Amino acid sequence: MSIALSSVAPNGAKIQQNGTSQQQQKSKLPNPFEFDDYHILNKVYLTHVNDDEKYDKDVLFNLVSTIISASSAQISGTNHTQISFKPDFPALKRISCQMIMTRGKAECVHQTTLWIFQHLRGFSWDAKALITLAAFSLEYGEFMHLYRIQSSDTLGNSLKQLNQVQFRKVPSDISDIVAFLLQVFQHIIQWATWSAMGYDLEEVHSLSDAMQEIPLVVYWTVATIVACSANLVGISEHILSDYIKRLSSVVMRLNDHLEKSKVQIERIDDYYRRLKESENIKGVVGFLRLLIQGNDSDQIPLIYKGNTQVRTGLEVFKKNYVLLFISGLDSIGDEILLLNSIYNRLQDNPQEVIKGFKKEDFKILWIPTVDMWDEVAKNQFRNLKESMKWYVLEYFSQLPGLGIIKNRLNYIDNKPIVSVINSQGEIMNENAMEIIFQWGFDAFPFRKIDGDDLFKKWAWFWNLMKKVDINIEDMRRDSYIFIYGGNDPKWIQDFTRAIGNIQKNQSIKNVDINIDYHQLGKHNTTKIPYFWIGIDGRKQNKTCHDRVDCEIQEAVKSLLCLKQDPLGWVLLSKGYHVTLLGHGEPMYQTVADFGKWKDNVVEKESFDIAFKEYYNIKLKEISSSVSCAVNSSDVLATITCPNPTCGRVMEVTSVNYKCCHRDDQNSCCI
């Protein structure tokens, strides 16, 4: 028998619903098991606005873990301490009620899950998972407590009967499932903890890879909790194994990234330990130990001179200056010949003093760096060692101090360097290779005044671009490059046509300027969310360590601001040097009006300077001409009711606006 239900829509009109219409409505709801990871990631990440809402993580986790642990073991002792925490009971209960009202279809679980994400949109990813788990623990904890109630407890038994605990069809393995969910959360919190520690994602790149999985892990964690909640109260009979299977697959990928992150973090922590020890180095031998001696004695570094092993090891360099030749195994013949000639000159009249330095106090040591010491590499090393007259390190593993070598001595991509270390263990010259090639022994004792700064403001951005869109590699490095994207197809089309006209303009060809342009995600739109997740990941609780790092954070802030432009965004770079980040409309007007400012390209002797000057003019014009009157119906998205039995468009009751003042120093706009 079908019973008609009446309800009132937001506009006051009555709507008749019956069992058939409800069934049709449910059939239109999306089934998450039919989605691939990209579709789920796209839907979930749209609900993530900020992560600055506060909550009492430690208190909440201790309470939840105690409740879950009590399901499999009796907790000894009783804690009577009364505490208050955020979110409060009404907030948790609201989520709990929403979950236990979820009907027995995967489509309904998906709808409730998205409701929870929308409700917790201001919280961090780990907070979303923990708060949902805490809301579930209200019902789960009560059930487990009543299930174990003693027969002598009159009140408890009455509550047990009233809750019909003995008659619920609760899965026998629900305790194991809940314990698994707690383990999953511990992986999430591990990621959050490492992310908050401010590690450079270029060094712990697996942490950035883990960030790509976190929204999926949190989604399936919350979805599994929703299904468990509905099963617990008997309102549905979800097949929990389906949820666990999907969750396990993404957790497995997350764990793989976390394991790699752990190795990378341990390497970085070891680097900083060695870096700190380097501040109190006593002598050149101590410095060399930092570079080549591990934390254990499984493998002892061996020092050879020719084919003869030096029995005293690193002590042979005590009170000497050391020319550290650091390289890979390939294409170093010229460097060996050069250093052999330096060695011969050091041996010629060794008592000679030049510029206050005695030649006999200088020794040469080769430190080879190899990623994989297989038999081919070992034989190649032995052959090279035969051609060297000076000291050689034999250590068939990754150098423990490779981080110090790369960062303190600016050793990049196995490009050979010669670092000069004095007898006190101080770096006299990070890399004397260039001056040795240019001046030979006349450059003795091979010092230099200053070194290059390794940090490049936009290196992280180009690494991200290469990950999300391999076609960026086709861009010429000596070109001006426009990278752009947006949500308005007409703007994309107009901008593409306009920039193409500039590229073909004869005045550009006359001054031999190369213009390239690249639409982000043109060939693969599924990569766009990963691009913005990568940008967002750069700001994960990361504090500025130096001036360049602060500039990176400002660039991230500007990019995230451009993301909000309803038309589009544009990045202009000269090679790898990003010169301008711009909003959609003024950027389009600038390229469309090229004929008005093309003569400035020759006058300024720079395309990007002329471009930026005209862009700033258009930006000012647009900013001053835009009316403040806004029709809310033009900017507000429609949101459907999260109740699985409803699904209608909800009425808008209030709207808040906040201006992004371009002249406000705290604004993200540019």
| Exposure of 321 in the CB half-sphere (CA atoms within 13 A) | 20
Residue at token pair 């001046």: 439
Beta-bridge partner residues of 591: none
Residue at token pair 């930006």: 619
Q: Is the separation of the CB atoms in 665 and 554 below 8 Å? A: no
Q: Is the separation of the CB atoms in 224 and 174 below 8 Å? A: no
Identity of the residue numbered 39 = H
Beta-bridge partner residues of 6: 16
Phi, psi at 405, each rounded to 5°: -60, -45
Residue 230 corresponds to which tokens in the numbers above? 């509905």
Q: How far apart are CA 654 and CA 632, in angstroms?
A: 10
Nearest alpha-carbon partner for 63 in 147, 134, 149: 134
442-460 pLDDT tens trace: 778 888 642 333 234 677 8
402-427 pLDDT tens trace: 888 888 888 888 899 999 999 988 88
Q: How far apart are CA 449 and CA 564, in angstroms?
A: 46
Residue 491 has pLDDT above 90, yes or no: yes
Q: How far apart are CA 337 and CA 313, in angstroms?
A: 25
Asked whether the bond before 215 is cis by omega within 30 degrees of 0, the reply is: no
Nearest alpha-carbon partner for 335 in 311, 364, 302: 364
Q: Is the separation of the CB atoms in 562 and 581 below 8 Å? A: yes
253-279 pLDDT tens trace: 999 999 999 988 888 888 888 888 877
111-142 pLDDT tens trace: 999 999 888 888 888 888 888 888 888 887 77
| Exposure of 256 in the CB half-sphere (CA atoms within 13 A) | 9
Lowest mean pLDDT among 58-62, 93-97, 599-603: 58-62
207-228 pLDDT tens trace: 989 988 999 999 999 999 998 8
Which residues, 6 or more positions from 61, have their beta carbon under 8 angstroms from its beta carbon?
Answer: 130, 185, 189
Confidence of residue 571 (pLDDT cuts 50, 70, 90): very high
597-648 pLDDT tens trace: 888 876 655 687 789 889 999 988 887 654 333 333 444 445 555 554 454 5
Q: Is the separation of the CB atoms in 217 and 247 below 8 Å? A: yes
Q: In which region does residue 105 sit, left (phi positive, over 0), alpha (psi from -120 to 50) or beta (all else)?
A: beta
417-439 average pLDDT score: 84
Share of the chain above pLDDT 90, in %: 19
Identity of the residue numbered 360 = E
Residue at token pair 């000069």: 420
Nearest alpha-carbon partner for 608 in 505, 481, 518, 465: 481
Burial label, 251 (beta-carbon count in 10 A; 0-12, 13-18, 19+): buried
38-44 average pLDDT score: 79
Q: How far apart are CA 429 and CA 288, in angstroms?
A: 15
Residue 473 has pLDDT above 70, yes or no: yes
Residue 6 corresponds to which tokens in the numbers above? 């009446």
Q: How far apart are CA 128 and CA 427, in angstroms?
A: 49
Residue 58 has pLDDT above 60, yes or no: yes
CA distances from 498 to 229, 506, 602 (A): 55, 14, 20
Residue 398: CB atoms within 10 Å: 14
| Exposure of 619 in the CB half-sphere (CA atoms within 13 A) | 16
Phi, psi at 86, each rounded to 5°: -115, 140
